[in-house]
Amino acid sequence: MDDTLPDPTAPAPDGQTAPIGRARPENARPDLARGVDTIKGYLRTLPDRPGVYRMINAAGDVLYVGKAKNLKKRVANYTMPTKLPIRLQRMVSETVTMEFVTTHTEVEALLLESNLIKRLMPRYNVLLRDDKTFPHILIAADHDFPQLTKHRGARDRKGDYFGPFASAGSVNRVMTALQRAFQIRNCSDTVFSSRTRPCLQYQIKRCTAPCVGRVDRGEYLDQVKEATDFLRGRSSDIQADLARAMQEASDNLEFERAARLRDRIRALTAIQAHQDINVSGLEDADVIAAHQDGGLTCIQVFFFRGGRNYGNRAYFPSHDKSQETGEVLAAFVAQFYENKAAPALVLVSHELAEHDLLQEALSVRAGHRVELHAPQRGDKRRVVDHALNNAREAHGRRLAESGSQAKLLAGVADVFGLSEPPKRIEVYDNSHIQGTNAVGGMIVAGPEGFLKNSYRKFNIKDPKAAGDDYAMMREVLTRRFERAIKEDPERAEGTWPDLVLIDGGEGQLTVAMEVLAELGIDDLPLAAIAKGPDRDAGRERFFMPGRPPFGLDAKSPVLYFLQRLRDEAHRFAIGTHRARREKAIGANPLDEIQGIGPKRKKALLHHFGSAKAVARAGLQDLANVEGISEAVAKLIYDHFHPDG
C-alpha cells in the first residue's frame, strides 16, 4: 500500500483504501503546543471515515499507530492535551507529522493497524517482540507412501497439518510417540527411493519399511489414517480398534502381531498421559491469560488441538506502565494472530475492549468463525485459571531475573565509577581472516538483558582498514557515533549508551578515545576488556581513561557478567563474519558483469570449467564459446583486464 500521494489533502475515492497526506514542519524539537498545532492542521481535511493514523517524530520514526472508526473524531482527541495521560502528552510533543490511511470498515482498520504495529514497532504501542512461527506436524500427501515430518513456515506442501506446538521439543516428543504407535516413515522422498534394505527405524519398530515392500500400500495408508484420526482427537476409537485387533490376534495365536499391537497401544497411552491439563469438550482452542504487576505483564498462551494440550509459551510484551491488563491483552491478541489463523475458540482471562470488533477481525483473518470468550465459571474457566497461574509464576521468575540484572548493573556502575547503573551498555568487537570479509559488531545490553533488536553490524568499507584491528575499530566507532549525533543530538531517544565497552586492550581504548574526542564527545564512559595472560577467563584486565589497568576477583558475579557481554559481542561479530564469508564463497565473479545472464554464464563455465579459467582466457578464446559474440567477449575480457 503506497503511503504518499502527490496531493496530500486529496480525499480518498469512495470504496478505496488510500492514504492521506504528510508534511513536516521546520521546528522539530519536542514541544507540546507545537505538537497540538501540528495535529490540528490535519483536522480540516480528515474524513469522518474508518482508518489508521501514524504519528511520526523528527527523525522519521513512527511513534504510534492507531485505528479509528472515525478518523476526524479520534485524531481530534489529541488536540486536548489536558485530557491526555502524561505518556500521550509526551507522544504529542514529539509529533512533527502524521500519516493516514482510510479503510472501508473498522475491521479492516484493525487488521491494518496490527500489521503496521508488527512491521514498524512504534515506541508508544503495546509491542509483541517475539514473532516466531510455531512448528506443526505434517503428514504429507504428495507421495504414494505419506511422510511424517516437522514443518515450520508457509503451508506450501500438500498434506494434513497439525498444530501449532509451543516448541520444537513438544513436536519432537509427539512425533516420536506417533512413530512408535503408527510406524509411519519420517525419511525424505530421496532417501525413500534409494533404499535397498530396511533402515534402523524399522529395526527399532518405528517404521514398517514401505521403502522395500515390507508393507503394502493399502496397509500403510491404514496406518496413516489412524495417525491422522488420532491427531484429530479420535484417540479413544483408535485405541478400542487396536484393542479388538490385539485380542483377535491373540485368539488366533498370532502372538507376534498381538505384541506389536500391544506396543502401539502403550505408545498411544504414553501420548495421552503426557498432558498437563485436559478439559472435556475443549477440542481446538487457544487459551490466553495475562498477569500484570509492577508495570510488567506476562501473557501465557496454551494450545489445545484435538482435545490435547500442545504446550504453552510465555510472552512479555513491551508497553507503558500505565496501561491496564485488558488493554495490553487486546493489543497482544490482535498482533499475535496477525501472521497466523486463530482456532474456532480463543479463551481469554480478561474482558477485552472492543471485543466484538476484535472477534470479527480474527474471523476475517482466519477465514472461519472465531469465538473470543472470557469464561467466568465451569471447565473453561478452570483451564483459563491454569494458564493464569502459569502467567503469574513466569512473571515472578522474570521479576527475580530482573532483580539479579539490576544488582549486576549496579555492580558495573561501581566497577567503572558511573553515577548510576547503566541502562544501555554497548560492546564492540571486530572479526576478519587476514583482512578478508572484515566486519565490526555492536551488541547492546540493559536491565532486560540482551537487546538483540538493537544489535548492529558494520561491514568495513575502507580497504586499508581491513586486517588492521585499530583502524577497523576507528571506522566502526566513527560511523556509530556520527550517526548518533545526526539522529539524536539531544540524547533524548534512549539510543545513546551509558557505557561503551571495547573488546581489546590499551591500544583499542586509545583509538576509541581519539574517535570520541574528534567528534566532540567528552562525557561518554569508556572501558576496554582484555583477556589476561594465556587468555585465561577470570584473569581479564580492564582499561579506562585516567586509571591504571585493574582486574576483578575471579569469582566476582560482575566479572562473569562482563565476560558474558564480551563473549556475546565476539559471538555476534564472528557469526556476522562467517555469514559474509559464506556469501562471498557462493558468489561468482561472472555475476558482476553486466549483460551476462544465466545462459551465457552456463556456457562459459561448461567451456572453461571455472570462473577463474574464464578470467584467464584470451579474447579469441572467449569469442569461440557458443553464444558469446565478439562484443560480449570484449566486455568479459575488459572486466577481468581493466588495465588492458
Indicate the angle between helix axes 557-586 and 378-416, nearest 10 degrees. Answer: 100
pLDDT tens-digit series, residues 73-130: 999 999 998 888 888 899 999 999 999 999 988 988 888 898 898 888 898 988 886 6
Pairing state between β 371-373 and 345-348: parallel
Which residues contact residue 290 at a Cβ distance below 8 angstroms, ignoring those fewer than 6 apart?
A: 297, 298, 299, 300, 325, 328, 329, 332, 349, 350, 388, 391
Task: Give the distance between the most distant pair of CA atoms in the chain.
Answer: 92
Q: Are 406 and 294 in contact (CB under 8 A)?
A: no
Could you write out the DSSP letters of every residue in 126-162? -B----PPPPEEEEE-SSSS--EEEE-S---SSEEEE
- pLDDT on residue 9: 34
- Taking the model in full, what pTM does it have? 0.60
Report the distance separating Cα 171 and Cα 149, nearest Å: 10
Place of cell 564469508: 581
pLDDT tens-digit series, residues 528-574: 998 866 555 567 899 999 899 999 888 788 888 898 899 898 888 88
Query: Any idea how long the chain is?
Result: 644
- pLDDT on residue 436: 65
Q: Return the beta strands (E) in 368-417 as ranges.
A: 371-373
Report the distance separating Cα 532 and Cα 570, nearest Å: 16
Residue 553 in grid coordinates: 576477583
User: Which domains does the chain carry?
Assistant: 18-120 (3.40.1440.10), 136-273 (no CATH), 285-396 (3.30.420.10), 425-582 (3.30.420.340), 589-640 (1.10.150.20)
Pairing state between β 136-140 and 159-162: antiparallel
- Cross-strand partners of 442: 428, 456
Could you write out the DSSP letters of every residue in 210-263? GGGTSS-HHHHHHHHHHHHHHHTT-HHHHHHHHHHHHHHHHHTT-HHHHHHHHH
Q: Are 426 and 434 in contact (CB under 8 A)?
A: no
Q: Are 539 and 554 in contact (CB under 8 A)?
A: yes
Q: Are 431 and 438 in contact (CB under 8 A)?
A: yes
Q: Is 60 exposed, middle or buried (0-12, 13-18, 19+ CB in 10 A)?
A: exposed
Report the distance separating Cα 112 and Cα 422, nearest Å: 37
Pairing state between β 18-20 and 425-433: unpaired
Low-confidence ranges of the chain (pLDDT < 50): 1-18, 21-27, 274-276
Q: What H or E segment, with its residue span, contains residue 52?
A: strand 51-56
Distance of CA 129 to CAs 317, 424, 447, Å?
A: 7, 18, 16
DSSP letter assigned to residue 352: P
Q: Are 549 and 541 in contact (CB under 8 A)?
A: yes
- pLDDT on residue 585: 55
- pLDDT on residue 467: 72
Report the distance separating Cα 373 and Cα 353, nearest Å: 12
- Considering only CA atoms, which of 161, 140, 142 is closest in space to residue 152? 161
Q: Are 462 and 471 in contact (CB under 8 A)?
A: yes
